[in-house]
Structure 1
């Protein structure tokens, strides 16, 4: 199954798209964004300029055969070989971890393998894909995972495999692990690469067959009873963490236990590295997210020093044993558990421009088609804060290095508005100073709004732009708020210059305190409707619903609370995605809709089904939706990436019934072929006063008015 050869012939979707390509220099977004990545340990594009032509880290920096002290002589001239190796291969103390270890630009099949593993999708779809021809020399950390997958295949799929084949597959993993940890890729870079290396290693620690093979290579017992007691306590604390601190008193007791037991002398050198990693965990996942802005640089530098110290100590300790794989899966101290927890970074440098090229779920070229060919968008990276533990939406951001905003209708609206202002600004200075308000109800970590801000800031004068997100879960709202501060800092914009606010409230039809629930694997699915019924699995503790108290407000009362003039600027774009509570939000916005204080509404329709239990609710829901929107004098369309059609009663009812088909894990979306089933979203706008001057209404009307129908 997994006999790997070169696959560089494979087609890649990462080619630049004309003027939409983002130059590396502009993507860096200046020193501030780069420095923020250093503080948070977020992977950043390489800035050395080393990797041009046929040069790659794997070719020039990795000693695959251990023949040369410094590999890659063919990459540079003999005279400057050592200097070039040091300059290009070795990570620098004051650099952020390099992002190219994700192999996102190495080819579509390495990218799909990483996505499949990181998002815990079935490997079945990979069995007959060109991944069978991938060479580990093309992707270092991915290559290690490949050898682990081959060992799983030999062990579980080929149960009658011969002993020599078992040994060969096992030794292949040992060799690949030895290559990885002797290479100049840092431990921090392994952790933030998006490859679930330590999660995969954990699998082998609970299989007796692999433990026997490990013991043959490393005989003896590392830990005694007392040490195992503290190790088990720590292991439970690490596995249960959701961004909380790991208590240091147990770590101290563990180190003391190891120091007092002569039989455990092999663990003594490990404990300084382990202690440093626990402190690094607490800084990155607890202290930094909760610190004041002026403390972030100091704590970030401290975290950087801790991970570098742990890296040096850990490699030195592992080198004594010679069998890295056997050591890690045999080790009783919860080092692998800790490294696994650290593989969920709380900050990712995302690339908003990549949405115009490719995503996991749709070809971005469909978005780019609405932009004039001559318009170039040079967007800096976005420092995006997410959940510092296992979380489905956060995992998607880590894996794709893109904001997770799969709302094509909203993406179209924002792109059209930004493009309209850019083009109009060339002919009229008044258009350059157009005002825009974009609000997002159900913002989660703010992915859609951060993506929108990236484009709108390229078109609008910042002080005329207002972005506002509403998110009822405290941890998600706090992460979104940190992302906003980072955006303002990187663009050198004060909160006054760019009004970008995050409100920790829910929008509903009644104000007051209320419980909201979310499935334990994904905070982005937080809902007021049927969480336990839809997401809990009685036999699986990993999937259950968690409830949190939150404050609810109505949009009408929220708007009425502003000390503004009698006719304040309306909200140009209101995005609504609240997991089944959409009708409740709209009922609480009745007066605002009737008076024209909301000019354009974007809605996901499928989630309406969450709020009802009946035989065929689509027609009832369509009637309720249209009845609620009648006061607003709206016209609307249903839109997806491939087509636009009138928002009639029949089309809305059909869209509510839609169910997403299962995605194929490795197969890229075809930019020229529509999927068999199309997902539609509602975009409705008010062309009459007071919205007729809204730039969003004008931009959308110019695109879709011929297809629109009154609601």
Structure 2
């Protein structure tokens, strides 16, 4: 895999398709972007594509705006002397009324940066990078990634003949690059929103005696007295414990008072920036998510981060060794910045699923639509996630994509959009699809439904589009509700501001509710590192038990459950569900048991279900085999189906369904490699999902059924025939 790193600028045949929002620079600032999304990005501090129209592959921020040495002024290679000051101000300096610019993530800069970014953000082993040449991570190509790599080199590049002199050189290089960063026009807000865990890495160095010794040689002396140290430690503990809650202001005031009384001049100059950041943290992570109106609090948060940025950079500029300074500083500044490095709102690119990237082979999806380029230029989606460390949320921050990795669902939605746009379809036939309903049980942060909404809203020609998500975990459901409201608001803006001729009745509803076989109040658990793994089955055994260091544990929350049959019966206006997606971490069979009447009576047209997670219930092979039989028995009334992976589809025979469930007992442990549409995984690596549909009743008018039939009708197998086979086998 070393060939991937020969050039950091290596490009994919199809790179991430970022919407064209670049504008001609003018005083009127006429935005060719969704104004709601842009404004929300300002208030939430969510990175938004640059709107200056300054940059190209040959003219980058690193080339034109960063002062790399003490002699040359930035921009000499980019602009002539006559217009350099004006263009530097226009292109390089962040504007106070705009969101942080997203290009600091270096998405689209090549496979080297994509792999490095994912590895450090998702805390994967560096071995997965096949000995990534961290020392070759050129900050002139990607400023933040290069600065972070220079610090990681101090720890992860270790050889037997690496001399102390070389280690000191690496340390001084990290020192130099951090100084370049803090003297550049990159704002603190842009560093926090970039997805590069710069401050998390810095926190590691603060606790290492060897690096403390190197820092002492450059910045000798003690910065804080005993009283300040005690309050700093107390506040540090509070920040770590409340990374998703309010930081106690009284502790901040006591620390500030201690610093002032002891006349610790170095720390006294830092405290205004520190207090501003604490208030910013409390606004963004606690107050804004609960606010009914974003404008007042969002504007205040933006002013606080601007103030903190100016104060912090002024303080750091007083020192010649910023790396050593941040290693030595006793006030928990780095802890606070680390807590702020997990933005709770990310602007994702749904269209990126149609492009081949290091993360997802989009060309596999492009095969199901006639004109895939039409699906690539989708608008940004404002996605709310957990504003702390969380594996699924980190994935969204890292990739800039909704975390929906359900191939069967993705295929069906794209095929529905292609059919529903009525391109090349007789209008009379198209008119038989008056509405579409997509429901997701176990929606988590809503990634799949948000992606589906973006695709369908861009291409659906029918009068009604209803999406409904069910999420049992309160925190995830609350975040999903905020995303849904933002999407509805953005859609209202699009239809009114752009004068859209499509009069679509669009709704996206979120229920904090579990769907099971009984109605009850019940406890649900999730491993502390990932809310997306919330389950009713053996959380502690499956997740926390894997951690030899006991750092992982399962958190328990109380939720309520309902049956799909009862929920549908209680709705004032009932109609068939075109797509019912079920991914509930081992509880799938319980959902089906509570939906028997709806499935038998044709109220569910197409079912998408994950099979491999059923093993969360039990390790017993015979029990899992019985589950497979029950799945087939429940679906025997008029359903037919296929098993789908991104690379392969096959008939959902009794043996194949059973194998798909039992296969999860032996998960593949091979080394991760980039997905390649031309070189699919081996059959042992493939995981298949069940897609089943019926044409009975009103479902014969469903565009979802038409979509599934267009994709897989030739290989689908009827479950009633599979049931008869099973009964015959039992009699035999």
The TM-score bracket by the shorter chain reads: over 0.9
Q: 1:609 to 1:5 in 2, by over 3 A?
A: closer
TM-score by length of 1: 0.94
| Deviation of 1:541 (Å) | 4.8
| Deviation of 1:259 (Å) | 0.2
Q: Does 1:656 align with 2:661?
A: yes
Provide the residue aligned with 2:470 in structure 1: 470
| Deviation of 1:88 (Å) | 0.4
Provide the residue aligned with 1:136 in structure 2: 139
Question: 1:120 pairs with 107, 123, 128, which one?
Answer: 123
Work out whether residues 419 and 425 of structure 2, in 8 Å CA contact, stay in contact via their aligned partners in 1.
no
Q: Does 1:702 align with 2:710?
A: yes
Deviations 1:410-444 (A, max 9, x none): 00010010111113576417736620010000000
Question: 1:598 pairs with 599, 604, 623, which one?
Answer: 604
Distance 1:12 1:425 in 2: 31
Distance 1:301 1:9 in 2: 38
Distance 1:606 1:616 in 2: 15
Q: Does 1:75 align with 2:78?
A: yes
Greater mean alpha carbon deviation, residues 231-240 or residues 357-366: 357-366
Distance 2:678 2:633 in 1: 38
Work out whether residues 114 and 358 of structure 2, in 8 Å CA contact, stay in contact via their aligned partners in 1.
no
Work out whether residues 463 and 504 of structure 2, in 8 Å CA contact, stay in contact via their aligned partners in 1.
yes
| Deviation of 1:28 (Å) | 6.6
Q: Does 1:59 align with 2:63?
A: yes
Q: 1:629 to 1:616 in 2, by over 3 A?
A: same
Q: Does 1:422 align with 2:429?
A: no
Provide the residue aligned with 1:280 in structure 2: 280
Distance 1:267 1:349 in 2: 36
| Deviation of 1:12 (Å) | 3.3
Distance 2:8 2:519 in 1: 58
Provide the residue aligned with 1:328 in structure 2: 326
Provide the residue aligned with 1:215 in structure 2: 216
**RMSD value over aligned CA atoms?**
2.3
Provide the residue aligned with 2:154 in structure 1: 151
Deviations 1:100-126 (A, max 9, x none): 000011111111101000000000132
Provide the residue aligned with 2:488 in structure 1: 488
Provide the residue aligned with 2:257 in structure 1: 256
Q: 1:175 to 1:130 in 2, by over 3 A?
A: closer
Work out whether residues 5 and 132 of structure 1, in 8 Å CA contact, stay in contact via their aligned partners in 2.
no
Provide the residue aligned with 2:46 in structure 1: 42
Q: Does 1:86 align with 2:89?
A: yes
| Deviation of 1:33 (Å) | 1.1
Q: 1:610 to 1:127 in 2, by over 3 A?
A: closer
Deviations 1:94-153 (A, max 9, x none): 110000000011111111101000000000132445666442210000111111122113
| Deviation of 1:310 (Å) | 0.6
Provide the residue aligned with 2:633 in structure 1: 627
Work out whether residues 463 and 499 of structure 1, in 8 Å CA contact, stay in contact via their aligned partners in 2.
no
Work out whether residues 639 and 680 of structure 1, in 8 Å CA contact, stay in contact via their aligned partners in 2.
yes
| Deviation of 1:395 (Å) | 0.4
Q: 1:104 to 1:9 in 2, by over 3 A?
A: closer
Provide the residue aligned with 1:32 in structure 2: 36
Distance 2:409 2:88 in 1: 46
Structure 1 spans left out of the alignment, 5+ residues: none
Work out whether residues 521 and 542 of structure 1, in 8 Å CA contact, stay in contact via their aligned partners in 2.
no
TM-score by length of 2: 0.91
Distance 1:223 1:72 in 2: 41
| Deviation of 1:361 (Å) | 4.5
Distance 2:435 2:198 in 1: 48
Provide the residue aligned with 2:380 in structure 1: 381
Work out whether residues 218 and 327 of structure 1, in 8 Å CA contact, stay in contact via their aligned partners in 2.
yes
Q: 1:517 to 1:255 in 2, by over 3 A?
A: same
Secondary structure of 1:376's counterpart equals: helix
Q: Does 1:189 align with 2:198?
A: no
Provide the residue aligned with 2:651 in structure 1: 646
Work out whether residues 554 and 589 of structure 1, in 8 Å CA contact, stay in contact via their aligned partners in 2.
yes
Provide the residue aligned with 1:304 in structure 2: 302
Distance 1:382 1:560 in 2: 33
Work out whether residues 46 and 98 of structure 1, in 8 Å CA contact, stay in contact via their aligned partners in 2.
yes
Greater mean alpha carbon deviation, residues 194-203 or residues 536-545: 536-545
Q: Does 1:167 align with 2:168?
A: yes
Provide the residue aligned with 1:673 in structure 2: 679
Distance 2:550 2:70 in 1: 45
Distance 1:224 1:13 in 2: 58
| Deviation of 1:40 (Å) | 0.4
Deviations 1:380-419 (A, max 9, x none): 0000000000000000000000000000000001001011
Q: 1:674 to 1:401 in 2, by over 3 A?
A: same
Distance 1:339 1:112 in 2: 24
Secondary structure of 2:635's counterpart equals: helix
Residue-pair matches, total: 695
Q: Does 1:180 align with 2:163?
A: no
Q: Does 1:575 align with 2:581?
A: yes
Secondary structure of 1:707's counterpart equals: coil
TM alignment of 1:546-565, pairs within 5 A: 546-564=555-573
Distance 1:415 1:556 in 2: 28
Deviations 1:207-258 (A, max 9, x none): 1111011011111111111111111111111112242110100000000000
Secondary structure of 1:138's counterpart equals: coil
Greater mean alpha carbon deviation, residues 118-127 or residues 494-503: 494-503
Work out whether residues 359 and 400 of structure 1, in 8 Å CA contact, stay in contact via their aligned partners in 2.
no
Provide the residue aligned with 1:501 in structure 2: 509
Structure of higher RCO (CA pairs closer than 8 Å, 6+ residues apart) = 1
Work out whether residues 274 and 335 of structure 1, in 8 Å CA contact, stay in contact via their aligned partners in 2.
yes
Work out whether residues 135 and 153 of structure 2, in 8 Å CA contact, stay in contact via their aligned partners in 1.
no
Deviations 1:153-192 (A, max 9, x none): 35xx246632311211110110010011001000000011
Distance 1:443 1:425 in 2: 33
Greater mean alpha carbon deviation, residues 549-558 or residues 422-431: 422-431
Greater mean alpha carbon deviation, residues 304-313 or residues 496-505: 496-505
Provide the residue aligned with 1:111 in structure 2: 114
Q: 1:122 to 1:28 in 2, by over 3 A?
A: farther
